[in-house]
Amino acid sequence: VSALGGRRLIFVTGKGGVGKSAVTAALARCAAADGRKVLVVEMAAHGAMEPLLGVKGPMGHEPREVAPGLWACNLDPERSVGDAVAGLVPTPRLARALLGNPVARLFLRTAPAVSETAVHLCLVAWLNAGYSPVIVDLPATGHAVGFLDASRAMAHALRVGRVAKAVSEAADVVRDPKQTGLVVVTLPEELPVNEAIDLYGRAQTQLGIVPAVVVVNRVTAPPVPEADLPKLEPLLGTSLEDLAPDARAVVGAVRAGVKAHALDGRQVARLREALPDARLLSLPTLHGQADEAALVVRLAERLRDLLGGQRAVPT
């Protein structure tokens, strides 16, 4: 996907419920259509990705091919910690002892930096296994920046040794703006826009990563083509009472559409003003889709049009 500039590790983030998972799935479909070996990573106990990708049954921790060129999994952080310990401590016996010790296990499971670092190691292992891009649907914790910084902080704390070296190698990938891209998703609404602006700024100042794109999802399409909106003006000025009863409902609906479109446009303008250098992509609210997978296929088509890509999106 050209907007991602060939980056191979993509994190999709934004406020809860804005459409992160739908956008992740749509980006993945675009990238798979470009002939890449795409891996979608969800990190949620109760995943929402299966219906979006049209997958039957729950996904597990191990990647599975769900469409040509498209793999998906639900990353289990606890499993990543186990794999990281097994891969990093010198002997299997020590690993078993560590993972068998309830106190150690509790620490490994609950210390956020440990778990997040293990997730980074896991993602980098998947990159090394040949998946590219790996597209991660981040949970809506509002801690995206802290999450992305975890392995660097951990490497810094560990300083020397085998584990420090492995962690610092993972941090080098996750914190490398040439390899890692951030996609910020928002709705054209006050609070999600504020959060997107804040996140965009902090990604730059705290991580040195300029988000690749800001996706404004669920923008109300105008009731008539944008260019024809001025033609509606006379209609919008007339009082509804002056109209025949049949016409009132229609004109009322058109007015509501014009108003919603204008309000959304104001939020998009606010984003543009706050983030003049950002690449904004607007996606419309798509009504009447047969199911979530169909929605994603349509969103992927939209993205491809916006990005000027040529390839077809597989259905």
Ligand X SMILES: Nc1ncnc2c1ncn2[C@@H]1O[C@H](COP(=O)(O)OP(=O)(O)OP(=O)(O)O)[C@@H](O)[C@H]1O
Sites of contact with ligand X (CB under 6 A): 16-22, 48, 140, 217-218, 283, 285-286, 292, 295, 299
Contact partner, 18, from ligand X, Mg ion, none, Cβ < 5-8 Å per class:
ligand X
Contact 73, 81 (CB under 8 A): no
Interface with Mg ion (CB under 5 A), residue from 8, 19, 21, 173? 21
Q: Which residue has the tokens 């609906």?
A: 253
Residues 31-70 binding Mg ion (CB under 5 A) are 48
Q: Which is nearer to Mg ion, 14 or 63 (CB)?
A: 14
Q: b vs e for 172-195, b when ≥16 Cβ sit within 10 Å of the residue's Cβ? A: ebbbebebbbbbbbbbbeeebbbb
Q: Which is nearer to Mg ion, 60 or 252 (CB)?
A: 60
Min dist CB 127 to ligand X, Å, is: 23
- Taking CB under 5 A as the rule, does residue 13 contact Mg ion? no
- Residue 282 DSSP SS3: strand
- Taking CB under 5 A as the rule, does residue 24 contact Mg ion? no
| Residues β-bridged to residue 184 | 13, 214
Q: Which is nearer to Mg ion, 29 or 152 (CB)?
A: 29
Q: Cis ω on the peptide bond leading into residue 102 (within 30° of 0)?
A: no
Min dist CB 154 to ligand X, Å, is: 26
CA distance readout (Å), 215 to 22, 82, 300: 11, 35, 12
d(CA 37, CA 128): 12
Q: Which is nearer to Mg ion, 166 or 295 (CB)?
A: 295
Dihedral sign computed on CA atoms, order 288, 290, 293, 298: negative
- Taking CB under 5 A as the rule, does residue 186 contact Mg ion? no
Min dist CB 260 to ligand X, Å, is: 14
Min dist CB 48 to ligand X, Å, is: 5
Q: Judged by CB under 5 A, which stretch of 16-24, 30-38, 59-67, 307-315 contacts Mg ion?
A: 16-24
Min dist CB 187 to ligand X, Å, is: 9
d(CA 254, CA 256): 5
Q: Which is nearer to ligand X, 33 or 49 (CB)?
A: 49
State the angle between helix axes of 20-33 and 292-307 in degrees (0 to 180), rounded to the nearest 10: 60
Contact partner, 285, from ligand X, Mg ion, none, Cβ < 5-8 Å per class:
ligand X
Min dist CB 92 to ligand X, Å, is: 37
**Alpha helix (H) ranges present in 203-314?**
233-237, 245-274, 292-307
- Taking CB under 5 A as the rule, does residue 151 contact Mg ion? no
Q: In what order do the strands lie in the sheet with 280-284?
A: 64-67, 70-74, 38-42, 134-137, 9-14, 180-186, 213-219, 280-284
Contact partner, 19, from Mg ion, ligand X, none, Cβ < 5-8 Å per class:
ligand X
Residues that bind Mg ion (CB under 5 A): 20-21, 48
